[in-house]
């Protein structure tokens, strides 16, 4: 027990990471299903089912767009983006660096 705590504190791969990943997966899945459950319809049910059976955090990452589209169709894009903001932040630390959300910079044209 003591040895595992030390390895976890030292961030040794494989120790504690699986449990943390499963916990993160559960939190994200619950949040996505929560925003979808307030709505009805075939498309919402189909997206909910895909979220429910997603195998890992990466699968949920790719399902964000489907959740966003289902919410947008019902509540509008602005409301859907607001609902997805907290969910998007839940992915932090659970994805490879190349998959993390990026801050988009606006291009300006200097005349």
pTM of the entire predicted model:
0.68
Q: Higher-confidence residue: 102 or 29? A: 29
Flag whether pLDDT at 49 surpasses 90.
yes
The Cβ of residue 32 has, within 10 Å, a number of other Cβ atoms equal to: 25
pLDDT at position 99 = 55
Tens of pLDDT along 74-103? 889 999 999 999 999 888 876 655 555 555
Residue carrying structure tokens 């630390």: 93
Residue carrying structure tokens 């190349």: 98
| Cα–Cα distance measured from residue 63 to residue 42, given in angstroms and rounded to the nearest whole number | 16
């Amino acid at each position: 027990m003591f040895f595992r705590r030390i390895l976890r504190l030292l961030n040794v791969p494989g120790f504690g990471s699986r449990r943390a990943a499963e916990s993160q997966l559960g939190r994200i899945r619950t949040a996505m299903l929560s925003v979808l459950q307030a709505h009805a319809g075939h498309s919402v049910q189909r997206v909910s089912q895909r979220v429910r059976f997603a195998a890992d955090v990466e699968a949920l990452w790719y399902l964000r767009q489907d959740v966003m589209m289902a919410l947008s169709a019902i509540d509008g894009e602005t409301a859907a983006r607001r609902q997805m903001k907290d969910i998007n932040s839940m992915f932090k630390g659970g994805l490879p660096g190349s998959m993390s959300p990026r801050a988009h910079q606006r291009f300006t044209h200097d005349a």
